Amino acid sequence: MSVTKIESEKVEVNNSAENIFNYLSDFNNFQKLMPPQVTNWTSTTEDCSFTINGMATIGMKIIDKAPFTKITISSNGKVPFEFKLFVLITETGANSCVGQLVFESELNMMMKMMVEKPLTNFFNMLAQKMKDIK
């Protein structure tokens, strides 16, 4: 198996890197970014679990934070495969930044073919939602 890397598009956000980082450092805020097909959401500040309709239940936990630039999230609990998700924030001005999500997991070819497109769409949608954070 090889490492599968899925990168969202880079999104220009009209908000400070600090505000975006602080918002996304709390999983209780993530629920507001999720699409309607995400159900059974439960969260604390540091971890969450949810179901994507037609797919599996996913658990995640925050394992590392680099203030205002990076949040490292890993799989937690019953997941179909182990993964890491990096929330990358690059400050571009006092009230602007660029956000991106990068997913990494060791997937076999069959699993990669099944999840690559839906996960790419999901991460692009989440990245776009960073623009809505107030």
> What domains, with CATH codes, occur in the chain?
2-132 (3.30.530.20)
Rounded to an integer, what distance in angstroms lies between the CA atom of residue 95 and that of residue 97?
A: 7
pLDDT in tens, 89-130: 999 999 999 999 999 999 999 999 998 998 999 999 999 999
Rounded to an integer, what distance in angstroms lies between the CA atom of residue 126 and that of residue 54?
A: 19
Can you read off the two tokens belonging to residue 86?
């990096």
Q: What is the pTM of this model?
A: 0.94
pLDDT at 87: 98
Do 101 and 127 touch, CB atoms closer than 8 A?
yes
Would the pLDDT of 8 be above 80?
yes
